[in-house]
Structure 1
Amino acid sequence: MTSRTGRIALITSGVIALILGGVWAGQGMNLIPGSVMTGSRMWLFIGLIIAIVGIILIVLGLRRPGHGRASK
């Protein structure tokens, strides 16, 4: 992704997904009490998957555009 707006959107989406995934995984691991999701393994796995997707989005957003383009 080379446009600045697109990169910012990827990074922002990734951060939101990472935070949400972390909260859901924490609830699934019974670290954050007070929810229906507390102690449920299903939410642990969903949270981990969402957090991994968030990390991937952040990495894609932070990658610099290629400088090796051939000019004609």
Structure 2
Amino acid sequence: MKAWIFLVLGVLLILVGGLWTLQGLGIVGGSVMSGVTMWAIIGPVVLIIGLVIAFLGIRARRDPRG
């Protein structure tokens, strides 16, 4: 059960990080975050953390002990 939590959390962080990156770069508009460089930096960091967490979730699902 814990593996699903990591997987879902990781995917959510990947999506949010991607959106924040695109908003920070000014590709996605309509927000106060659009075109703000800080979000173009925070976004990829959150995305990478999401990738790591999702990877841990996938790895835990494949582990026969977990």
Q: Answer whether TM exceeds 0.5 for this pair.
A: yes
TM-score normalized by the length of structure 1: 0.82
Q: Name the structure 1 match of 2:30.
A: 34
**Do structure 1's residue 65 and structure 2's residue 63 form an aligned pair?**
yes
Larger helix percent? 2
Q: Please, which runs of 5 or more residues in structure 1 have no aligned partner?
A: 68-72
Q: Please give the root-mean-square deviation of Cα atoms over the aligned residues, in Å.
A: 1.3
Identity %: 35
TM-score normalized by the length of structure 2: 0.89
How far is 1:66 from its partner?
6.6
Q: Please, which runs of 5 or more residues in structure 2 have no aligned partner?
A: none
